[in-house]
Amino acid sequence: MGSLERQGDTFLKQMKNGTEFIKVSCGKRRTSVKKRIFQVTENEMYLQYSPSSKEMKDLQVEIEDIQEVRAGRNTDRFRDMTKYRDDHSFSIIVNGETRILNLVAPNKDLANLWIKGLRLMMKKSERIDVRMKQAIWIKDMFMKADKNGNGTLDSKEVLKLVEEMNVKIDKDYAMEIFQRADVKRTRQNALDEDEFVTFYREITGRTEIQELFKSYAGVDDFLTPDEFQQFMHREQKRPEVDMAWCIKMIEKFEPKEELCQKKMMTIDGFQLFLLSEDGLILHPKNNAIYQDMTQPLSHYFISSSHNTYLLEDQLKGPSSTEAYISALRKGCRCVELDVWDGSDDEPVIYHGHTLTSKILLKDALEAICDYAFTTSDYPLILSFENHCSIEQQRRMAEIIESTIGDFLYRLTRPEDIHNLPSPEELKHKILVKGKKLPPFASAVQGGDVSDEDEAADMEDVDDEEVKKQLQESKDKKAKRKKGKKTIKLAKEFSDTVYLSSRHFKGVDEEMKTRKPFEMSSFTESKALDLAKKNGTAFAWYNSRFLSRMYPAGWRTNSSNYNPIPMWNVGAQIVALNFQTDGDEMDIYRGRFLENGNCGYVLKPDFMLKNAAKRDNTKRLNPILLRVVVISGQQLPKQTKDIDDPYVKVTMYGANITVEHKTDVVKKNGFNPMWKCKMEFDVQIPELSMVRFEVRDRDISSRDDFIAQYSLPVACMQEGYHHIPLLTEEGNDISSSTLFVHVAKVEKKMTASDVDYSKELL
């Protein structure tokens, strides 16, 4: 055992015994401080804490759901509580900004122990393979059902557990399996943990996988490397798979040691393989960066957020540095900063002319720099909306210089005048986007009014109090700016800017005069109008220059628009409200699963600069996408009743959306079987997205959302694959999957297809 493992064991022993912390809850309006005992559960899967109220049960957090353990008082509002020592404090960030536990330990040694111990547990959780995860999940279900802790489950407890597992099963049939599993007779009519595993595997028998396995294993009960290779070539369409790879997979997933040594794979090993990375619908090459990263920035779709500082709506919602951290952790490569004059000569960030809360620019930039390259090494763009006075613009420049330092990329290279650099050239660099003075400008000079003032419009605002205050604020602004068509821009801030904001004068004019480092921003309505009226020319423009799209001002609830029409014309920076979940954000997250989730996805060949003037339709490859939604596994339960699930599959293509649904399976959310065939005519696979959504049919009200998964059509593996299901927030749902078959049939383009494609591009 290495020193790290020994250290981990020491930490775990103390963490399982428990420690009393001060738990600081920083709410929107007030802060509560309570003492809580925290401990790691015996199975090392959960962190649980006990409230003082005896009526409340222990609360739990899954270790694999912990995103970060942050030392010190380094979350919003917690950092202001100076009465707590920084070296006694730490925060546990669960699934992004959705849950934060701020804790103060009795002393710095205990704080350090828990910080190191939790981080070691997180690393250990990342190394758990699919076989171990399944075993842990079954064991966890057993422990939860064993209420009295006697190590066994009687028939009543087992039947109740089956119902909680989201499946309705005939009682007599369940008892028959129960009796067969009860072989040890350690306690009358009760199953121990091993016997429960036997019971579980029998009621969860995957007949669809058994049939597939038998079709290649033949009369034997195992697959040889040759048979496994045939399966990978014929069904999974993976011709690159060789015999050595097949043997490696057998050794990795076959649970029976004696068969593993003989290079044989049983159905248990086969099922575990189909649940592994290679068995998922997303092609495994996308888990790493595989695209050419040496092309100009304009050749990439770039993951971008709008009003990044907001956690909720755009009228009264809180602003937070945690929102920046969360977006960066999700692979975002362009964040927005709306900067206004603050008190004590310190610029602040908030949604101007609204009641959103304010954060210091200094705090935001420090958080951004700390997490800028946590998920991706490729460049980060800071999109500034500058509303500050000359004095505070100079302070902005000081803060940028002191926090970003050597990460800041400046317009100093001669080649930047004629060409945009590549993501590879800009690794670990931060680019400031904003208004920029012309060369040789004096210390203070007038510039154009910003074309990116995205302060909330008043259309569709229902809150009369908010509407009134918005109007008063806007009236004051109009009075101040009466007769002014320019703003004053400090040279110090201008010098930090690399991507220069410029008003868009039309494609023809911009193609003649625009420089590569200049870019424009468009509201969603203006962008859609350009795409509809002159999509081909706009796509040609976007092959050379950067464009940023953002939501309309009336979206005060932070709703989002469909990003696909923007991508269809090659727009790179399509900014969405990351804090708002829904179909649009699902599609967005799915788009950037490609290329290792680095936040940069290379556009299709026909949208690149060197291809823009060619007949792009000759390079399109339309397909017929055939999907069979076969079955579901361990769907999360939504209501007290057992779910009636169905699957909705939506294809988002180039200017077309097609939707198909399976039938509803009654009273079975555990292992529903659909075997539903669907077909989609996909004109441009390179730009198309598919979304799988599982819902619970409710005849009395709106069907309940259960889970979803979205990905690009081009990234879908062919053959039999599992789809890992996600929550509305995009987080993994442990052990919940769909099992599908995918086939891509190439089509020959007809004359109408060619005309249709020309209209799009």
**Residues with active-site annotation:** 306, 351
Per-residue b or e along 60-82, where b marks 16 or more CB atoms closer than 10 Å to that residue's CB: ebebbbbbbbbebbbbbbbbeee
Q: Is 268 exposed, middle or buried (0-12, 13-18, 19+ CB in 10 A)?
A: middle
H helices of 419-550, where?
464-480, 491-494, 507-513, 524-542
- Residue 404 CA, chain-centre distance (Å), reads 26
Residue 53 CA to residue 55 CA, distance in Å, equals 5
Residue 497 CA to residue 518 CA, distance in Å, equals 11
Residue 518 CA to residue 530 CA, distance in Å, equals 19
Residue 314 amino acid letter: Q
The CB-side HSE value for 278 (13 A sphere, CA atoms) comes to 16
Quick one: tokens of 587? 């599609």
Q: What is the 3-state secondary structure (H, E, C) of 77-145?
A: CHHHCCCCCHHHEEEEEECHHHEEEEEECCCHHHHHHHHHHHHHHHHHHHCCCHHHHHHHHHHHHHHHH
Residue 156 CA to residue 172 CA, distance in Å, equals 13
User: Would you mind telling me the total number of residues written for the chain in this entry?
Assistant: 761
Residue 122 CA to residue 312 CA, distance in Å, equals 29
DSSP per residue, 140-171: HHHHHH-TT-SS-EEHHHHHHHHHHTTB---H
The SS3 assignment for 639 reads coil
Q: Which of 761, 258, 257 is nearest to 540 (CA)?
A: 761
Q: Which of 644, 468, 459 is nearest to 554 (CA)?
A: 459
CA angle, 450 then 543 then 552, to 5°: 40
Scanning the structure block, which residue is given the tokens 């798979």?
241
